[in-house]
Structure 1
Amino acid sequence: MSAGKDCKIFVGGQIVNMPKHIADKFKKGDKLINLPESQEIFYLSKAQVDIANEVIDKSEKAFQQMSKVTDRQMVTFFKFFADNLQNDKIWGKILEANQEDLKKARTDHKPVARLELNDKVRRKMIAGLHYWAKEKSHRNQVLHTIQRNGFVIEEMLSPYGIIAFVFESRPDVFVDACGVLKFGNTCILRIGSDAMQTVKNLMQLALKPALKKSRLPENAVLVLEKEYEIIYALFSNKKLGLAVVRGSGRSVEILGGIARGSGVPVSLHGQGGAWMIIDEEVDLKKVELLIYNSLDRKVCNTLNTICVLKKNAKTIIKVILKVLEKRGQGLGHGYRLHVSKSAKVFLPHLIQADLIDEDKLGQEWEWDKVPEITIHAVDDLDSAIEFFNRQSSRFVASLISVNKKHQAQFINTIEAPFVGNGFTRWVDGQYVYHRPELGLSNWQEGRILGRSGILSGANLFTVKLIMRQSEKELER
């Protein structure tokens, strides 16, 4: 393509400006992807596209081979994978790699709470694999039978395809993702670079031997280690069955936009941060416990924003401050508070807090050891719900109230996939279903068709209609 100033091109159904630096290096076989919402253009070299296509082709072949895998083989895989993690020698080598990752992350001043492996995480990973080993296989299960004159229709569960995961630097999620194999699917994984050495050892020492032992396709699970831009090429490949993106922030928005724009179904976690609305009629001791138990650590379902009613704001805010001080002392680092203008007037005089604009109430606080929340005061429940629906990431919402009418109103009008009347940290597939979770989804990009916001390996199927004809002269 000729060099010079920016030029206009037609890509992705739109006419957009191609920056000069992209035009100068664009060659035959390269690829351009644009995001309609932001008018951004992403450049992919032919080499990057070829790598993504090669990975997809390997996974597609493995998916075809999975149709011949027996349930006994599947059980063997999950049991042997779990046995490998139970093996102290193997686990020791995985821990060594994890220590390397931790050292580098700390040097780069990155949070390490979810990167670090320990005995608790190990037990959780092993328990997840044992769950899939024991879980009944639903492949080819007949959901429903329709009887007609001369024929029968069976609705049969069938494997879905290739599942691509992009997730944060959490080695345990790597093991959870392997649950998609139980139903005959294959997966391509890209983990945060901070955990890459740990995952390489998990792959080489625990997973690959289990695939070989059970005679499952060697490419049933693939880890993408190349540069991040290859994920863009992967998510734009229509052979992909589903793109799952955990985490939050701009990168999640970009990957989701690329997948949707390419016609690839996508499950996005998106921004986290739970909201709690505290009504006028409440049990103060219960409020104290619910807030305290929603702030034990920072994850996506941690309490982030509290809306209080002005009628009892002074009393409720005293309870909130008491909890923050207690939780902060427990973690050893105090707390940080943000308040809107409407909430500031109810604060005790000596309490320090940062003033936050009322259009920033949905900002998620990414704290590590210092609990951090926002407080906003509203006139009534309707106002609180309106603030949530307009400003939050539409993820987790909890109403603390003894008023049953208010609870019913809240459930019917709040725009969130996870709604409760208690603490916010319940939103977790393992906690709710006692089975490994592949990801959570908010409603930031709209409601989800036909399923909850908890994605599990058990959700990843399609339905075949099987017609069994008994009357040979059947006709239309």
Structure 2
Amino acid sequence: MNPGNHTATEPLCELTEGMPIVVGGDRIVRVTAELASSFTDGDRLLTVPSTGALLHVPASVGRVTEAAVGRAAAAFADMGAVSDQAVTAFFETFADRLADDAIFAPIAMANAADIAAAQAKSRSTTRLVLSDTMRSDMIDGLRTWAAAPSGRDQVVDRVEHEGWLVELQRAGLGVVGFVFEGRPNVFADACGVIRSGNTVVFRIGSDALGTAEAIVEHALNPAIEAAGLPDGAASLVAASERSAGHALFSDQRLALAVARGSGAAVAQLGAVAQGAGVPVSLHGTGGAWIIAGDSADADRLEAAVTASLDRKVCNTLNTAIVLRSRADELVPRVLAGLAAAAASLHTNPKLWMHESATGLVPDSWMAEAAIARAEGNVTEPGAEPLDETGLGREWEWEGSPEIGLAVADDLAQAMSWFNEWSPHFVVSIVADATDEAEAAYQGLDAPFIGNGFTRWVDGQYAFDRPELGLSNWEQGRLFGRGGVLSGDSVFTLRARVHQSDPSVHR
């Protein structure tokens, strides 16, 4: 065969039950009857090589998504002519409209409807509620971007030659595709990419779609228009189907794909983007660890546990490790901190015990209790056994604070457990001795390390920068081990030459 010849392709118009689909170059997956019957002419089929999953994108969803990306791509082409003052005005107007009670009223109504619909389906609403605090954080975040320098056209390097010079200047990267779970505040965070000259396309979880559409109608679009930004500078994919995220991340017009949400869903989205050749930053696996060192202060430990369990997000305490030398004293303090967190939420705690903690947890913890789950209160044991692999399980709790507990023989074993089973994300080492704290810092493989509560890990809270996500080891490594991915960190560099001597040649 002539290697210069290429096999012609033709559209995939239908699927048949049992039809073989090659994935990963060396495996075959068979089309199910359900997929075959639902696939029609114009639909798309995406594959995930790592799992063999076949993802169906209906034509209607594809059209909505392609249109949103098209608007954002056209807007990016016009962003070079948009002044920094206009971008500032956009953020200020967006914030002002969210702060106006009359304008915010229909957004609040839409959010209440989303919450009621999610509750009717026994789905979690902890991240869905657009509370007064969340609203305030959105407004503060937008005003932070209004006050921030753009960085566009900033010269980051300059090399002078005889008769000419070359400069490296910061510039917008392009269209950023953003898929996130049902947290309405993330909507405002992601607009930060506009500050550095980018445009953005959102796809939000179906539970929060009504809230997002209300924000677009009453605050976002009016702010874009008032500031004179190009239409589509921030676009929402108005589709509730999960496949809209797959369609978005497979669009090669994206300069960057960012995903936030549950680990499995985020990993799948990442695989779709990588298959399309789109750079991706994933922010899915969460759950923080606390390790109580041999020199731990008991009061500090208990306070850190309680303060790390006020709500379930990615930086919430997930696993607590106590050293055997202090276990008799410190395990009760971990339990007290967990109980205090539950009491503040007017519910009961949930504990998972590694076999190393056997005999250190009072029998009273094993009693049946009402545990607040997404579907409502469920009667189950307050404490249950946990194998070693379970140390890395993320507890997606609803109302009842939930953690895993283990007792390590020494600091080396505690660090080994973290490095093997954790998501390599957030860890707190509670230790008063400088040498012990430093040994933990050097030995623990995590980008975010503290010595108290874990909930400090947040772009806006810690660094005064609203975050798109927190990078850990899950292909979010824009900053080496990890870091805060924020709007002003999404940029590229352009080289620009100034030639003063027209006779310069090579």
TM-score, reference length from structure 1: 0.94
Residue 237 of structure 1: SS of its match in structure 2? coil
Name which of 465, 471, 476 aligns with 2:501: 471
Q: Given that residues 88 and 146 in structure 2 are in contact (C-alpha distance below 8 angstroms), is that contact kept between their aligned partners in structure 1?
A: yes
Matched, 1:368 2:398: yes
Is residue 2:127 matched to residue 1:114?
A: yes
Q: CA deviation at 1:50?
A: 3.8
RMSD: 2.1
SS of the residue aligned with 2:435?
helix
Would the aligned equivalents of 1:115 and 1:169 in 2 still touch at CA under 8 Å? yes
- Would you say 1:150 and 2:163 are equivalent positions? yes
Q: Which amino acid aligns with 2:30?
A: M
For residues 177-192 of structure 1, the aligned pairs below 5 Å read 177-192=190-205
Q: Separation in 1 of the partners of 2:36 and 2:451? A: 55
Asked if 1:230 is matched to 2:244, the reply is yes
- Write the letter of the residue equivalent to 1:140: D
Q: Tell me the SS of whatever aligns to 1:351.
A: helix
Contact kept, 8 Å, 2:213 with 2:238, in 1: the verdict is no
Secondary structure of 1:367's aligned partner: coil
1:125 touches 1:172 (CA, 8 Å); kept in 2? yes
Kindly tell me: are residues 253 and 357 of structure 1, through their superposed partners in 2, closer, same or farther at Cα, counting changes over 3 Å? same
Give the structure 2 partner of residue 261 of structure 1.
275
Which one-letter code corresponds to 1:95 in the other structure? A
Offset of residue 447 of structure 1: 4.6
Which of 335, 338, 343 is 1:329 aligned to?
Answer: 343
Once the two structures are TM-superposed, the CA of residue 361 in structure 1 deviates from its matched residue by 0.6
Unaligned runs of 5+ in 2: 1-12, 367-382
Amino acid at match of 1:137: S
Deviation per CA, 1:405-434: give whole Å up to 9, x if none.
332332223222212222111100011111
Q: CA deviation at 1:247?
A: 1.3
Residue deviations 1:14-51, cap 9 Å, x none? 55233153456666654332212112222334444344
- Quote how far apart the aligned CAs of 1:160 are: 0.6
Amino acid at match of 1:6: G
Residues 211, 217 of structure 1: 8 Å contact kept:
yes
**Structural mapping, 1:322-361, within 5 Å:** 322-352=336-366, 353-361=383-391
* Mapping of residues 273-284 of structure 1, within 5 Å: 273-284=287-298
Identity %: 40
1:286-320 deviation digits (Å, cap 9, x = unpaired): 11221121112221101110111112112110111
Q: Does 1:302 align with 2:302?
A: no
CA offsets 1:309-359 (integer angstroms, 9 cap, x no match) = 112112110111222222222221121111011111322344322001111
| Amino acid of the structure 2 residue aligned with 1:278 | A
Q: Is the 8 A contact 1:395 1:444 kept in 2?
A: no
Following TM superposition, by how much is the alpha carbon of 1:137 offset from its aligned partner in structure 2, in angstroms? 1.8
1:100-139 equivalent positions in 2, closer than 5 A:
100-139=113-152
> Which residue is 2:326 aligned to?
312
Shift of 1:103: 1.8
Rounded Cα–Cα distance in structure 1 between residues aligned with 2:15 and 2:44? 17
Cα deviation code 1:355-379 (max 9, x no counterpart) = 0111111111122221111111111
| Closer, same or farther: CA 349–200 of 1 in aligned 2, 3 Å | closer
Identify if the C-alpha distance between structure 1 residues 134 and 357 changes in structure 2 by more than 3 Å, giving closer, same or farther.
same
User: Match of 1:387?
Assistant: 417
* CA distance in structure 1 between the aligned counterparts of 2:59 and 2:75, rounded to whole angstroms: 24
- The partner residue of 2:209 within 179, 182, 196 is 196
**In 1, distance between residues paired with 2:16 and 2:257?**
37
User: What amino acid does structure 1 have at the position aligned with 2:69?
Assistant: I
Aligned to 1:93: 106
Write the distance in 1 (CA, Å) between the matches of 2:325 and 2:40: 65
> Hey, what's the Cα distance between the residues in 2 that align with 1:136 and 1:449?
21
Say if 1:311 and 1:169 are closer, same or farther in 2 by CA, change over 3 A.
same
> Number of aligned pairs?
476
The answer (yes or no) to whether the contact 2:88–2:147 under 8 Å persists in 1 is yes
Distance (Å, rounded) in 2 between the aligned partners of 1:171 and 1:2:
38
- The answer on 1:19 being equivalent to 2:49 is no
Moved more, 292-301 or 343-352: 343-352
Q: Which residue of 1 aligns with 2:457?
A: 427
What residue number does 2:95 align with? 82
Structure 1 stretch displaced more, 47-56 or 457-466: 47-56
Q: Distance in 2 between matches of 1:131 and 1:5?
A: 54
Corresponding residue of 2:285? 271
Q: Which runs of 5+ in 1 are unaligned?
A: none
CA distance in 2, matches of 1:166, 1:2: 29
| Equivalent pair of 2:323/2:410 in contact (CA under 8 Å) | yes
Structure 1 position 159, deviation (Å): 0.2
The question of whether the paired residues in 1 share the 8 Å contact of 2:71 and 2:232 is answered with yes
